A and B are shown apart, each in its own frame.
Chain A
């Protein structure tokens, strides 16, 4: 199964967000609860944690770059060898937890 993580619309008035740091390289396996990526708004850090197990396959927004709310940040899969789709649109959403500090 292929999943995406998209930018959450968690902070009022924020239309786009900057990727601060990825906490794993391509191929890294995240367990539920692991920190995947940190996002940065004008006043808050958003920690995106895995809500289920998954393997990071493709980073769509590099550190320091920006993405709009609702648009994808990365692709993940259940297993390492799963072929990636041509378009991210077919990917479902990975279960994630957010923490805003």
Chain B
């Protein structure tokens, strides 16, 4: 039904996220016969987002396994297979359902190496999809911040097809567990992916737009929202630097801190909740790194309102940060910083700014 790969040009080829995911899986599965895929409808059907199309045909039912609707068992089987010498990819269609797999993921996979004194590893990649797209309270959440605090677990979230390809390949070469988080709203948006095989190293953020007045850190779909906001701000002569974290555990604090050192203002942006969120962690670590030199630093954070995500599109949009809300928050920080003569270390809660 779908063409295998788009037409190539010189250095990159434009493709959808799902094609970047298929390419990463195919290349790694050809190289490593131990890789097995586990998921619901990933076999002949090709995955809920067609992100496994063609793999069942090439690698067969032993390596591309359809699983029942039982996420705890899926993650458990994946972790067990990984501990026994396989390398498993467990596809959890909605990140909300990953909660059912937390015990094998967090209590077993993330701790296995430590618990066995390095004798066993669990090289398992849990591939899941976060984000709001009209599907309501239990199919919309961005829970990546919950996972950032688990020792032994890595968490990555691409915002481009190139990083979907590169991060998934990198995840498939890790010795321990990685949660790889896609976003539903990114799937319709194609992007250029290098033709040459390669990886995106885990733990390295990307500066998506260079700016001098303030730093916006974000990840996944919100990177696009931040870039849109940066355009709005540019029209007002406010120059925003946009950093796509790409890797949430570990965080690339070198890149973020260097940027904030230049701009003096940090606005964090995420689609998930702000309490104990990605932004809270980033801002705290920036302050720790800057020490007394950061006393004049101004920070703000933006995320979802503290309510469930509705399937009502009006309420869903109201709950989530959009470009205008991000621009307003950035403007408030910028104007506030410019107006103040004395250093102010207060953190502003900006989610109520509409």
Within 8 A of A (CB), among B278-294: none
Decide if A65 touches B7 in the complex (CB within 8 Å).
yes
Give the interface residue-count category, chain A: 10 to 19
Taking the closest CB of chain A, its distance from the CB of B95, in whole angstroms, is 19
User: A42-B18, A43-B49 are known contacts. Are A13 and B188 too (CB-CB below 8 A)?
Assistant: yes
CA distance A64 to B188 in the complex (A): 16
The reply to whether B7 and A42 contact each other, CB–CB distance below 8 Å, is no
Residues from chain B with Cβ under 8 Å of A43 in the complex: 18, 49-50, 187-188
A12 and chain B: residue at smallest CB distance: B188
Complex alpha-carbon distance, A63 and B187, angstroms: 21
* Chain A residue nearest to B18 in the complex (CB): A42
Q: Is the CB–CB distance between B14 and A11 below 8 Å?
A: no
Chain A residues within an 8 Å CB radius of B18:
42-43
Who on chain A is nearest to B50 by CB?
A43
Are B2's CB and A16's CB within 8 A?
no
CB < 8 Å: which of B7, B49, B190 contacts A64?
B7
Contact with A along B3-39 (1 / 0, CB 8 A): 1001100000010111000000000000000000000
Of B1, B14, B50, B188, the residue contacting A66 (CB under 8 A) is B14
Evaluate contact between B187 and A18: CB separation under 8 angstroms.
no
Could you give, for residues 160-194 of chain B, a 1 whenever the CB lies within 8 Å of some chain A CB and a 0 otherwise?
00000000000000000000000001011110000
Q: What is the chain B residue whose CB lies nearest that of A64?
A: B7
Contacts of B1 in A (CB 8 A): 45
A45 neighbours in B (Cβ, 8 Å)? 1-2
Q: Are B16 and A42 in contact (CB under 8 A)?
A: yes
Instruction: Tell me if B188 and A40 are in contact (CB < 8 A).
Output: no
For residue B50, which residues in chain A have a CB less than 8 angstroms away from its CB?
Answer: 42-43
| Binary contact track A45-58/B, C-beta < 8 Å → 1, others 0 | 10000000000000
Say yes or no for A41: interface residue by CB 8 A criterion. yes
Q: Which of A20, A41, A62, A63 is close to B188, meaning CB atoms less than 8 Å apart?
A: A41
CB-CB nearest in chain A for B2: A40
Determine if B188 and A15 form an interchain contact, defined as CB atoms under 8 angstroms apart. yes
A13 with B185: CB separation less than 8 A: yes
Could you tell me which residues of chain A, from 27 to 74, have a CB within 8 Å of some CB in chain B? 40-43, 45, 62-66
The complex places the Cα of A69 from the Cα of B14 at a distance, in Å, of 16
Name the residue on B nearest A62 (C-beta).
B7
CA distance A20 to B226 in the complex (A): 32
Contact B14 A42 (CB under 8 A): no
Residues of A close to B189: CB separation below 8 A: 13, 15
Take A42-B18, A45-B1 as given contacts and tell me if A64 and B6 are in contact as well, using a CB distance cutoff of 8 Å: yes
Indicate if the CB atoms of B6 and A42 lie closer than 8 Å: no
CA distance A14 to B190 in the complex (A): 9
Give bound CA distance, A43 to B50, whole Å.
7
Cα of A15 to Cα of B186 in the assembled complex, Å: 11
In Å, the complex CA distance between A93 and B187 comes to 29
Report A-chain residues with C-beta under 8 Å of the C-beta of B17: 42
Contact partners of A13 in chain B: CB under 8 A: 185, 188-189
Which residue on chain B has the smallest CB distance to residue A16? B190
A20-B190 CB under 8 A given contacts A43-B49, A43-B50, A66-B14: no
Distance of A51 Cα from B188 Cα, bound (Å): 27
Nearest CB of B to A36, in Å: 18
Asked if B190 and A66 make an inter-chain contact with CB atoms under 8 angstroms apart, the answer reads yes
List the A side residues contacting B3 at CB < 8 Å: 18, 20, 40, 64
Instruction: Given contact pairs A40-B2, A42-B16, A66-B14, enumerate 4 new A-B contacts (beta carbons under 8 Å).
Output: A13-B189, A14-B188, A40-B3, A64-B3
Q: Which residues of A contact B (CB under 8 A)?
A: 11-16, 18, 20, 40-43, 45, 62-66
Question: B residues within 8 Å of A by Cβ?
Answer: 1-3, 6-7, 14, 16-18, 49-50, 185, 187-190
Chain A to chain B contacts (Cβ below 8 Å), 12 pairs: A11-B188, A12-B188, A13-B188, A13-B189, A18-B3, A18-B190, A40-B2, A43-B188, A45-B2, A62-B7, A64-B6, A66-B14
